[in-house]
Amino acid sequence: AQSVTQPDIHITVSEGASLELRCNYSYGATPYLFWYVQSPGQGLQLLLKYFSGDTLVQGIKGFEAEFKRSQSSFNLRKPSVHWSDAAEYFCAVGAEAAGNKLTFGGGTRVLVKP
């Protein structure tokens, strides 16, 4: 069975500082990996995805993530955080062999200080 761990429940970062959100997954084969962002009371917006190929993927809003197979990680990064980046971030893993069902991490809430 696949599983996803986001070790950090909360992260507080100053505006303009860099941000890194950790995600570790467990799955026997190469999974599909996603990062989504959720603002309070709203649905999820896809930031980026990794299926295969280049292990550094670029997403929307200046985010990027790097797939590291040896570490079973897919960490999300942004060089300079904006106040509008305050939200809940979810890492998810899916696999065609599992019917493309997504398994989500617990989420990381990002707070941005002025």
Partner 1 sequence: GAVVSQHPSRVICKSGTSVKIECRSLDFQATTMFWYRQFPKQSLMLMATSNEGSKATYEQGVEKDKFLINHASLTLSTLTVTSAHPEDSSFYICSARDEVNTIYFGEGSWLTVV
Which positions lie near partner 1, rule CB under 8 A? 32, 34, 36, 41-46, 49, 51, 90, 94, 96, 99-107
Least CB distance from residue 61 to partner 1, whole Å? 12
Taking every pair of Cα atoms in the chain, the longest distance, rounded to a whole number of angstroms, is 44
Of residues 4 and 112, the one with the C-beta less far from partner 1: 4
Least CB distance from residue 109 to partner 1, whole Å? 8
> In degrees rounded to 5, what are phi and psi of residue 113?
-90, 140
Strands 44-50 and 32-38: antiparallel
Of residues 15 and 86, the one with the C-beta less far from partner 1: 86
Of residues 9 and 70, the one with the C-beta less far from partner 1: 9
Per the document, the length of the chain is 114
| Three-state secondary structure call for residue 17 | coil
- Rounded distance between C-alpha atoms, residue 98 and residue 56, angstroms: 24
Least CB distance from residue 43 to partner 1, whole Å? 4
